[in-house]
Amino acid sequence: MSPTTDISKDNNKAQPLVFRGANFNIFKVRIQAKLRSKGLWKVVNGDEQRDDDEDEDYDSKEDKAFDLLVNSLDDDNLANVSHVRTSTEVWQLLVERYEARTYADVSHVIHELLLMGSRIDDDMLGRILLTSAKEAYPTTVEILHSREPSPTLAQIMDRLLSKESETKRAMPLKRKVDDDQVLYTNKEGASQPWKKHAKDKCLYCHKIGHHAIECRFKKRDLAKGIRRKCLPTPEDHEVNIL
């Protein structure tokens, strides 16, 4: 095989998707497309729920979705979600942290349109901003939509900017509550940030401290193609011997 062919193949390799804190809208589209292609998006957005504690198909999807999401984040963003345990929680934190900036991107688009000579009246600009901010601030946007008479562009921007400030002020408090919860959980094991309350019992391996969705024995068995409800208990062995 010639060196030219090798270089061509290297160039054609897909670059890994890593979110570094910029252009969240672009990352959002790409990561959703990847999750959808693997049949995992409904698990992340909450449309698909676990039927029961032994829903192995759901657990497998959740493990894959969580793995795909956390491994698409750089170290800073990974640290921001390190205290949560499900793909849905990871996604919610990312949206809370970055979606609020969406309408600012629309302002840039508006500016570019004006430079190109396009004429956009204030009513249209207001609708563009509301559409852009709908996912980040659904309640606020709904209230603004329902007002009679319709709010002016200035009123819309003032309300959205005010909401953004409220969100930013609330985030440090939310992180403190999350940190306190993690510290409380780890009183007996500070070096284990992922350790759960001792009352959590795995229905798969019967050990204390985690759930079946996190069980390394279950993941090991699934990787080997072994599918069963749970591992046999010592009592089961004794019965078999007798």
Percentage of the chain modeled with pLDDT above 70: 69
Look up the pTM and report it.
Answer: 0.42
Q: What's the pLDDT score for residue 68?
A: 94
Confidence band for 39, pLDDT divided at 50, 70 and 90: very high
Q: What's the pLDDT score for residue 64?
A: 94
Q: What's the pLDDT score for residue 214?
A: 78
Distance CA 99, CA 133 (A): 8
Least confident range of 31-35, 153-157, 173-177? 173-177
Percentage of the chain modeled with pLDDT above 90: 17
pLDDT digits (tens, 9 = 90+) for 166-191: 877 776 655 555 555 555 555 544 44
Write down the mean pLDDT value for the chain.
75
Q: What's the pLDDT score for residue 9?
A: 47
Q: How many CB atoms lie within 10 A of CB 239?
A: 10
Q: What's the pLDDT score for residue 176?
A: 56
Top mean pLDDT of 76-90, 181-195, 208-222 is at 76-90
Q: What's the pLDDT score for residue 180?
A: 55
Q: What is the DSSP string of 134-203?
A: TTTSHHHHHHHHH-SSPPPHHHHHHHHHHHHHHHHHHHHHHHHHHHHHHHHHTTT-TT-TT---TT-B-T
Tell whether the model's pLDDT for residue 140 goes beyond 50.
Answer: yes
Q: Where are the domains of the chain?
A: 102-167
Top mean pLDDT of 36-40, 111-115, 174-178, 198-202 is at 36-40
Query: Tokens 């062995």, residue?
Result: 237
